[in-house]
Structures are given as structure tokens and as C-alpha cells.
Amino acid sequence: MAYSLNEICKRIQGRLEGDEAILIQGVNTLDSAGAAEITFAESDRYFDKVASGQAAAIVVAEDFPDVPGCNLVRVPNPRFSFMQIMEMFVAPVEMKGIHQKASISDTANLDKTVSIGACAVVADLANIGARTFIESGAYIGTDVIIGEDCYIGANAVLMKGIRVGDRVVIHAGATIGGEGFGFAWLKDHHHKVPQLGSVQIDDDVEIGCNSCVDRATMGITRIRRGTKIDNQVHIAHNNDIGEDVIIAGQFGSSGSVTIGNRAVFGGKSCIADHLSVGENAQVGGASVVIKNVEPGAVVFGMPAQSKRQTFQELAYIKRLPDLAKTVKAQEKELKRLQKQVASLVSKLPQD
């Protein structure tokens, strides 16, 4: 893929200062961009890097200083325009049809535009929509329904009966539909509570590599429209994850958790069972949620509470040695005063 700088300028409606014919073969960071690559500078702070770099062209703000000898493309919002350029370089998914070493059940129902990689397995009665791509080694279980324009990564596993909407991406190694973790102690052993529910993943959801979403004990575990989930995340049985939620890597939830729309979870955060996190709430990285989080709240810590309070408490803890020293000094001073006062009392005439 390659574009003239002129083509790129047109796409982002930028104002070019420099050579419009130069051929751009890729994008890169300001530090690393080479002679055939375009990059961007977010502010004047990066002037020296722009001036000294090798990049074929640099996307900058309207008021960025002139840089003689550099091809500059001026736009109102360099970061956003650059993202548009990046999209020009995304390789289109090449649909390849059904690989002869894939294993497709006779009773599966595949749109004729579906692609399925080598050694992928599609079980009985599965239903796969138009333009969906199933990578090599992926497993699509019995009775699974997948919508249109989805991408299921290599060696991902979608177990029996899972429902997947349109434009869903499930990355490599993710397992969707494992049994919820439920046991009852009967006399002398843990007895498995049957896990009869399913998982429903709505449109435009993305689930990262090696993440797990467990099926519900009854009913469904649901991940709603537009939610984005990173790698190695664990979503437990009967969770209801709202729309446009962001969940960073290694997050873990317990059973029956409810998450409101647009909530954000930092990496490695987690939440105890049956709790809810409100809309637009933000849970900091590595935080441990053990009580409900209000809509819009910003929490952090182990256990999680108002981020401001956690950092205030951390500051107070840091001053503990001084506090202890002060108290000790006061103790000494108190004793000295006690003695002085006692001495004074003894010197005064008794009542």
C-alpha cells in the first residue's frame, strides 16, 4: 500500500507545505519514521524532533512553526487526522473461502461469503453470517450463531449455543462460553451446580486475546453493544456488561456483576460478586471493588474507594513516622509539664 502525499492531504483535508508527489508507504512514530513514512507531532514541544527527523511528511497543527525542508501537512487536530491516515494503511481482510483442511459440520449454515481457516472446526447447527472470518484453529461449537462481518481469531473457542452479533471481533485464544464457576458443598464434596445458561455478545463488541467469558448459570451473560475488552480478561457467569464499556487487560469479575454504560476499568482491576458499577464510573488499574460504585464515581485502591480519598490516605500514611514522633515528643513534654505543675501545686498553700 502506498499513497502520494497529495492523496493523503485530500483525505484529511489538510494544507500541504511541501512536495505533494512524494510517495508515502507507511506510518510510524515521530522517533522512528523513515524516509517513506508519514508521522505526526501533537504540539510545538516536538519541534526539534520534527526538524531533525527523517520522516517523509509530518502532520502538524495549523499554528505549528515553519520547518524549512520538511513536508508539513497542517490540520486542526493532528492526532485525529493521523488516525484517519492510519486507517488508509489497514490491510483489508482477504476473504479466502473455506480452507480444505477446515472441518465444517454438514448441518452448519454458513453464508457463502464466509472465510474459514485451516484446522478450524464448525460444529453442528452453527450459523455464520456474511463476510465473517473464522481464523485457523478456531472452534465454533454446536448451535452457535455469529452475525455478519465478525472476526474470530486463531484458536479462539466459542462454545455451544453462544450468540454473537454483527461486527464483533474475538481475538486469538479467547474462550467464550465456559461453564460458570459454581459448586455446592454436599456432605463431603463440592457438587457442580449445572451451568445451563448462555452468552450473548452484542454488535461491535471486541474481546481480547486469551480472554474468557463464562456462560450464565441460568439466563445469559451479556456484553452489550460497543464494549471493548482487552487481553486476558475474565468475565464471570451472569455478568451484564453495559454498552461502550472499556475493560483493560487482566480485569476479572465475579458472578452476577452489573456494569453500566461507558464505565471504564483499568488493567488488572477486579470486582466481587453481585456488585454493580454505575454508568460512566472509572475504576483505576489494579483496584479491587468490594462494594457498589456509583455512576460517574472515580475509584482506586485495594479496596477501591474514591480515588481522591485513597491518595489522601496514602499521603497521611506517608506522614505517620512524623506523627508518631510528634506524639512521642508530646508525651515527653506532657510528663515534664506534669512534674512542673505538681511542683507548683506543692509550693502553693493548700486550700
Residue type, 304: A
Residues of span 28-87 touching a copy of itself by CB under 8 A: 28-29, 32, 80, 83, 86-87
Q: Per rule CB under 8 A, is residue 290 in the interface with a copy of itself? A: yes
Is position 337 an interface residue for a copy of itself (rule: CB under 8 A)? yes
What is the spatial distance between Cα 252 and Cα 262, in angstroms, rounded to a whole number?
17
DSSP 8-state symbol, 98: B
Q: Which helix (H) or strand (E) covers residue 310, if one does? A: helix 307-318
| 155: its cell numbers | 484458536
User: How far apart are CB 151 and a copy of itself at their closest, in Å?
Assistant: 10
Is residue 285 near a copy of itself by the rule CB under 8 A? Answer: yes
The one-letter code for the residue type at 206 is E
- Residue from 121, 150, 257, 259 in contact with a copy of itself (CB under 8 A): 121
- Give the footprint of a copy of itself on residues 215-234 (CB under 8 A): 218-219, 226, 228, 230-232, 234
Question: Which residues on adjacent β-strands are paired with residue 222?
Answer: 200, 240
Q: Name the minimum Å distance from CB 20 to a copy of itself.
A: 23
**Shorter beta-carbon distance to a copy of itself: residue 4 or 105:** 105
The yes or no reply on residue 288 touching a copy of itself (CB under 8 A) is yes
DSSP 42: S
DSSP characters over 176-208: EEEPP--EEEETTEEEEPP---EEEE-TT-EE-
Q: Is residue 98 near a copy of itself by the rule CB under 8 A?
A: no
Binders of a copy of itself in range 138-197 (CB under 8 A): 139, 141, 153-155, 157, 159, 171-173, 175, 178-179, 181, 183-184, 189-194, 196
φ, ψ for residue 64, nearest 5 deg: -65, 140
**Residue of 99, 171, 189, 237 marked active site:** 237
Find the part of the chain contacting a copy of itself (CB under 8 A) among 6-14, 68-76, 264-272, 274-282. 264-272
- Tell the smallest beta-carbon distance from residue 213 to a copy of itself (Å): 9
CB 237 within 8 Å of CB 216: yes
In the complex, minimum distance from the CB of residue 107 to a copy of itself, in angstroms, rounded to a whole number: 13
Among 50, 55, 60, 123, indicate the residue that binds a copy of itself (CB under 8 A): 123
259-268, long-range: CB < 8 A, 24+ apart = 260/295, 261/224, 267/230
CA 330, CA 194: separation in Å to the nearest integer?
64
The residue among 39 and 132 lying less far from a copy of itself, judged by its C-beta, is 39
Residue 210 Rama label (left phi>0; alpha psi -120 to 50; beta): left
- Rounded to the nearest angstrom, the gap between the alpha carbon of residue 31 and the centroid of all alpha carbons in its chain is 26
- We find the least distance from the C-beta atom of residue 275 to a copy of itself, in angstroms, to be 11
Please indicate whether residue 189 is annotated as part of the active site.
no
- Nearer residue to a copy of itself within complex by CB, 129 or 208: 208
Q: Which of 125, 127, 267, 298 binds a copy of itself (CB under 8 A)?
A: 267
Maximum Cα–Cα distance for the chain, whole Å?
A: 112
Beta bridge partners of 98: 116
Question: Among 43-51, 59-67, 126-134, 338-346, which window interacts with a copy of itself (CB under 8 A)?
Answer: 338-346
- The residues, ordered by sequence, that sit 6+ positions from 175 with a Cβ below 8 Å of its Cβ are 156, 157, 159, 211, 212, 213
CB 197 within 8 Å of CB 220: yes
Residue 314 Cβ vs a copy of itself, minimum distance, rounded to whole Å = 8
Which residues are known to be catalytic? 237
